[in-house]
Amino acid sequence: MYNHQEIDAQWQNAWVSQKTFATPSAADPRPKMYILDMFPYPSGSGLHVGHLFGYMGSDVLARTARMQGKAVLHPMGWDAFGLPAENFAIKTGVHPALSTKQNAAAYRTQLQAAGLSYDWDREIDTSDPEYYKWTQWLFQLLYKRGLAYRKEGLVNWCPKCQTVLANEQVVGGQCERCQTVVIQRNLEQWYFKITDYAQRLIDDIETVDWPERIKAIQRNWIGRSEGAHIPFSVVNDTKVLTAFTTRPDTLFGVSYVVIAPEHQLLDTLAPESHKEAIATFRAQIAQETELERTQLVQEKRGVDTGIRVLHPITKQELPVWTADYVLATYGTGVVMGVPAHDERDAAFAEKYGLPSTVVLDGEPFAHAGAATLLASGDFTSKQNTKETMQAITKVAGGEWTITYRLRDWLVSRQRFWGAPIPMRSEVGTRNLELVPSEQLPVELPMDVDFLPTGQSPLAVADHWRLYEDGGTTYEREADTLDTFVCSSWYFLRFCNPHTHDQAFDPEAVKHWMPVDMYIGGAEHAAMHLLYARFITKVLFDEGLVPFKEPFQTLRNQGMILGPDHQKMSKSKGNVISAAETIAEYGADTFRTYELFMGPYDQEKPWSTTGIVGVRRFLEKVWALQEKAVAPVADETELHLINQAIAAVTTEIEATRFNTAIAKMMECVNALGKQFAITRDTYEKLLLILNPFAPHFTEELWHTVLGHADMCSLAEWPSVDERYLQSAAATYAVQINGKTRGTISMATDASETEVVAAAKEEQNVARYLTEGEVVKTIFVPGRVVSFVVK
RNA sequence: GCCAUGGUGGCGGAAUGGUAGACGCAGCGGUCUUAAAAACCGCAGCCUGUAAUGGGCGUGCGGGUUCGACUCCCGCCCGUGGCACCA
């Protein structure tokens, strides 16, 4: 038995004091490798085994890369702004600045206890004025480029958090953080114009190596739709209502037009006779939450607006309705009603007795698929191809166009613990201007009552909000920035975190970026990753970075479930503490077990019994030192170790850590059956095991092998190709596809020899007498297959 | 509904179209021990057979391609995640 507690502590201390994992300078000639974890929010509760799982994988990659001669940047920091610290402060009275620092220190200790090889000299904290000064700078950059703006409109409001939320932070009609049902409010807020980048965000996703499901979520979220704007001119008015449709081939089936209840033109165009009915209808739906409107109330409701428009081709007069099933925020807020070919229109038309005309053959509500146009004027009997749709659009005086589901990113928050928005206005005016750059950072005041009231705590802190500058009194913007703004550029700061006069050092960024391997949870697919890509593109356009995508390769770690196959949570009592596991089994067993459990990107349950198997494996490696006394290696030993090196190397590269560990187990089991092995083989074994079990191998490296340097920085062993192939091969011998026997042959045996031997195999011979061999298939090293009739 | 992803022993899982179940857990048998634990050695998908180098079945279901399919193709079922009155 080896003493894991002593060994863990000893090597962790050595790595920290000797700065073993310091990042090489940008002048280092070795190829660079930037391996990044999604940095955590340092919460008050301790880390469980699932939190650390993602960091295990990136750590193995970073450690392997170092040993393979790469200059590695592997940093860690804290996404420290955000609601939990503020809520904790409200409950306990401890200032967020203080609790955040304490939590970060506790996290650092725990990450070090797991043996993670971060360069702690590069630690960053987004709530540090040194950092958020540059988050504010970034805001101002977007403002100057016309990409940050204020707008009044309906926004998502979380009644519990007492703040607005971005669309991405509303999940299933609920607040992403506290699961409270989100309501709609009409407020003036700050936005980033991410919609300007919708097409580029779709296009460039093809250039990165990310899991397909993450790419799909992003494409889905951006939601590109090709279609047409079709103008419907208003009767007795010069105005035009423009509808968006993806199906101009159904234009001749339009029997009415629907305008969203919130649409601005509705008030302007509606005749006096109908205004009261419209107002009543609006009041009715305004009372309901988005959730009720979309999920609970499936029945479509609407009223006739009294407005009449002309069909752009037939010039037939059509009624305009307003209805709750049409959204103001998508397309033009106006849709054409085609009851014969749209399920929603069908339901609505049936309820209100609106006419329906069939204009396509085949399935009425087919979303895709070829159909022939019917009763469609000059277009009758044409196929509903894109060409036909574009031709109809042209005749109707419309335009072919593209619409996105993506909305602009709402970045202002009515909370305290975030970066203040660096804008001001002269008191009594609403003339917004940038806070002069030399006055950045706009620091958060420490002496503010931050109880949430629905407006920003900073708004009532007059001693902070109002200030004199050059004889003029200004009032500051009192909202803070969404914490996702802070995390949308931190990977740039890591390249040179101590640069003082700029957000990031362009030379360092040019050297280290883009991130070669980014590891984190899939829950950020539509938020952080989208925002970070957007900000990177803005910085590219500004000429500040020479790349368009920040994360070249992305991998998601799967979730670790409790032993009961349920998501770990305090209330279920199935949380496995990382600290306790490390204390009991040691950091090396913990690390190796987590990565052995299964595929890295899949979720899998923790097994309290399974971990002992990994501990046994490490004990076997420990015990193997007794056998490392052979003067020369035999063929078997050479095959075993070289096959292990080759397999482990490729498996790590492919982030298949579980099979890498299985290969080492096989190798160790087989080496244990040898009478003795060489020190050379033992040394190579320790080297390939080091990324997984760094403390343990470091100890053996020094005490048994007598090295003075660090195993963690030693050179990765190379493979001797001569020993990759075994001397003998086992052939399966098949009759009509069924294996009827096996034969062992020399690897270099010829086809003739193998086939002859196969025919002599006892059981095979029996089957061969049953008929004629009409065909023989030979797969070198694997199979001989006879087709017998 | 659309998009993505998965379905293999008692359990976690492994398998460039080539002996399905590697590796590990749990289990069973043995060695050692007064005994137990630990460690070590062995067995181990299911059914069948006195036996084996035997036979049959077997990777969610139904078809297909192939000498040969967990793997490729077609059609389904179920689980998970994302989006959704998006026109």
Interval A580-618: pLDDT, tens: 999 999 999 999 999 999 999 999 999 988 999 999 999
Closest CA to B26 C1' — which residue?
Answer: A609
Residue A295 in this model has a pLDDT that exceeds 70: no
- Closest nt to A332 (CA→C1')? B87
Q: Give the tens place of pLDDT for each residue, A350-366.
A: 999 999 999 998 777 77
CA of A725, C1' of B31: distance in angstroms: 36
CA of A724, C1' of B86: distance in angstroms: 57
**d(Cα A587, Cα A115) in Å, to the nearest integer?**
7
CA of A24, C1' of B45: distance in angstroms: 52
CA of A162, C1' of B81: distance in angstroms: 29
Residue A560 CB neighbours (<10 A): 22
Q: How confident is the model at residue A514 (pLDDT cuts 50, 70, 90)?
A: very high
- Closest nt to A597 (CA→C1')? B12
CA of A220, C1' of B2: distance in angstroms: 10
Q: Which bases in strand B are touched by protein, i.e. have an atom under 7 Å from a CB?
A: 1-5, 11-16, 18-20, 22-26, 39-41, 53-56, 67-69, 81-87
Closest CA to B24 C1' — which residue?
Answer: A613
Closest CA to B5 C1' — which residue?
Answer: A213
| Edge-first strand listing for the sheet containing A302-310 | A302-310, A317-323, A256-259, A334-337
**d(Cα A196, Cα A145) in Å, to the nearest integer?**
12
**Strand pairing class (A163-165; A148-158):** antiparallel
CA of A668, C1' of B27: distance in angstroms: 24
**d(Cα A626, Cα A248) in Å, to the nearest integer?**
80
Which range is least confidently modeled, A405-409, A519-523, A569-573, A603-607? A569-573
Closest CA to B69 C1' — which residue?
Answer: A737
Instruction: Assign residue A10 a region (left: φ > 0; alpha: ψ between -120 and 50; beta: otherwise).
Output: alpha
Return all residues near A320 (Cβ < 8 A) that are at least 6 apart: A241, A256, A257, A258, A259, A269, A304, A305, A306, A307, A308, A309
CA A571 to chain centre: 27
Q: Give the tens place of pLDDT for each residue, A126-149.
A: 999 999 999 999 999 999 999 999
- Closest nt to A334 (CA→C1')? B87
CA A278 to chain centre: 43
CA of A609, C1' of B10: distance in angstroms: 15
Closest CA to B39 C1' — which residue?
Answer: A616
Please tell me what DSSP assigns to residue A771: S
Q: How confident is the model at residue A729 (pLDDT cuts 50, 70, 90)?
A: confident
The reported pLDDT for the residue numbered A548 is 97
CA of A763, C1' of B58: distance in angstroms: 22
Q: How confident is the model at residue A84 (pLDDT cuts 50, 70, 90)?
A: confident
Per residue in A733-765, is it b (16+ CB within 10 Å) or e — as a string?
bbbeeeebbebebeeebeeeebbebbbebeebe
* Rounded mean pLDDT, A336-347: 92
Residue A297 in this model has a pLDDT that exceeds 60: no
CA of A763, C1' of B42: distance in angstroms: 27
CA of A781, C1' of B16: distance in angstroms: 13
Q: Kindly state the tokens that stand for A568.
A: 């770990």
Instruction: Assign residue A32 a region (left: φ > 0; alpha: ψ between -120 and 50; beta: otherwise).
Output: beta
Dihedral angle of Cα A662, A579, A712, A600, to the nearest 10 degrees:
40
Which range is least confidently modeled, A69-73, A307-311, A341-345, A658-662? A341-345
Q: Kindly state the tokens that stand for A426.
A: 């002269």
Between A431 and A364, whose confidence is greater? A431
Residue A287 in this model has a pLDDT that exceeds 80: no
The reported pLDDT for the residue numbered A294 is 58
Closest CA to B68 C1' — which residue?
Answer: A737
Closest CA to B85 C1' — which residue?
Answer: A325
- Closest nt to A774 (CA→C1')? B67
- Closest nt to A215 (CA→C1')? B4
**Strand pairing class (A432-434; A412-413):** unpaired
- Closest nt to A738 (CA→C1')? B68
Return all residues near A692 (Cβ < 8 A) that are at least 6 apart: A60, A588, A591, A592, A595, A657, A660, A661
> Which residues pair with residue A222 across a beta bridge?
none
| Edge-first strand listing for the sheet containing A472-476 | A432-434, A423-426, A472-476, A466-469
- Closest nt to A220 (CA→C1')? B83
* pLDDT-above-90 percentage for chain A: 74
The reported pLDDT for the residue numbered A502 is 96
> In terms of residues, how long is chain A?
789
Contact A731, A784 (CB under 8 A): yes
CA of A354, C1' of B87: distance in angstroms: 17
Closest CA to B13 C1' — which residue?
Answer: A598
CA of A740, C1' of B63: distance in angstroms: 27
CA of A769, C1' of B50: distance in angstroms: 27
Where do we find the tokens 């930037």? A34
Per-residue DSSP letters for A59-76?
HHHHHHHHHTT-EEE---
Per-residue DSSP letters for A73-87?
E---EE---SHHHHH
Residue A272 in this model has a pLDDT that exceeds 80: yes
The reported pLDDT for the residue numbered A370 is 79
Which range is least confidently modeled, A419-433, A660-674, A675-689, A758-772? A758-772
The reported pLDDT for the residue numbered A388 is 93
Residue A705 CB neighbours (<10 A): 16
The reported pLDDT for the residue numbered A290 is 60
Closest CA to B1 C1' — which residue?
Answer: A367
